[in-house]
Chains A and B, each alone.
Chain A
Amino acid sequence: MDDLVYLYGLIPMKEAAETSIPAVKGFDGKRDLYTIPIGNITAIVCNLDSQEYSEESIKERINNDMEWLQEKAFHHHETVMKLSKIFTIIPLKFCTLYNNQGSLETAVQTNETKMLAAFDLITGNEEWNLKIYSDDSLLKKQVSQNNPTIEAKRAEISQLPKGKQFFEKKKLDKLVDSELEEEKNKVSEKIHKHLKEFALKGNVKKTWSNDVTGRKDNMTWNSVYLISETKVEEFLEQIQQFEKDMKEKGWQFEATGPWPAYHFSSLS
């Protein structure tokens, strides 16, 4: 049976002709990466044994072999990252596999126009990620002190008989929580809007829970930006300024990049 073809990324054929790809071991740790020219586009791939890497066996490992998933996810990203330092690259999703070279070629040919447009979009631009974290216990204090709705409610409760106060206080806690969420979103959205002025594009992503981040503070915002190389410094200065102004109030800003343009090479 034929080998499977694992696709890491697509680069302009012109760049592939000028610079050869670095020697990197593929997904199985044995065989090297190589290129397949397909018209104006060059695919960067490696081969995989179709028995060992069948759909069932990969799914099985993803579900049950955490260590394997970690190692391979690292490998995928590390490889694409390295390539992105040398080439303009459309990065592919983890575990994009073709049954053979022919089916990869067909897929690339069918999408050529969109791929060339994606190259145009990402050339000269960089992808950056911003995650905003907040210390909610600190923010909660501020919200419950400076919010007129909450202050009014608190005054109302203090007039109630003791027994009733308990339940009303519970209700108030809920109110504080929802006001806090609203406030956090409002602040983050304002920051996002400001940052978008320095970017070509900006997308909001979903946030991850503390179980996943392993942090004490909460992820309040997660967004990605496509920024012209010439504007990156200015963009980051804005974030640094937000950090300076808001750190003591319980806000943390984590910018990472430049990333391969995972979020801005969409072909759909």
Chain B
Amino acid sequence: MASLPLFQPFISEGENMSLRETIENKDIALIDILDVILDKGVAIKADLVISIAGVDLVYLDLRLLIASVESLVQAQQGNRKAVSSEQFDRQREELIDATGQPNKWKN
């Protein structure tokens, strides 16, 4: 865990990559992030834990969700400085796909 490089050097795609590397570099869907961070996570006694663990993700309106992901991507393309992790750069851009087709939600 502690020995991993922050950024993967460029590896030619294909045979040289282990499964682990391939998956690690793959884009993660928003649902996977929410599944972990909203549903689970270590809780220790805090003065305020704003617990949204009980929130069912169903209540997260997908249209809003996609809109906000889109604006995240746009904000990011406009200002690369705000970005802190290469992996998540790619993920954010992929999120629109991962959460469904935005067109589907147009009224």
Contacts and interface: CB of A to CB of B under 8 A. Distances in A.
A255 B41 contact: no
A259 B37 CA distance: 11
B23 A86 contact: no
B50 A55 contact: yes
21 contacts: A66-B68, A67-B67, A74-B72, A77-B36, A78-B84, A78-B85, A85-B5, A86-B2, A87-B2, A93-B41, A94-B52, A98-B47, A111-B45, A125-B1, A214-B62, A214-B100, A233-B18, A256-B28, A257-B24, A258-B24, A259-B36
Contact of A214 (B23, B38, B98): B98
A195 B79 CA distance: 42
Contacts of A24: 84
B22 to A, nearest CB: 9
Contacts of A77: 33, 36-37
B11 interface: no
Given A211-B58, A214-B99, A95 B50 contact: yes
Interface in A90-140: 90-99, 103-104, 107-108, 110-111, 118, 122-126, 129, 131
A90 B29 CA distance: 23
B30 to A, nearest CB: 8
Given A214-B100, A236-B19, A15 B42 contact: no
Interface in B50-85: 50-53, 55, 57-58, 60-62, 64-65, 67-69, 71-72, 84-85
Contacts of A240: 19
Which interface residue of A22, A79, A86 has the most chain B CB atoms within 10 A?
A86
A266 B31 CA distance: 22
A79 B68 CA distance: 19
A229 interface: yes
A160 interface: no
Contact of B2 (A71, A88, A97): A88
Contacts of A47: none
Contacts of B50: 55, 58-59, 62, 94-95, 97
B48 A97 contact: yes
A93 B40 CA distance: 7
B63 to A, nearest CB: 9
Contacts of B40: 93, 205, 262-263
Among all A-B residue pairs, the 4 with the closest Cβ atoms: A214-B100, A93-B41, A95-B50, A67-B68
A97 B19 contact: no
Contacts of B72: 70-71, 74
B68 A91 contact: no
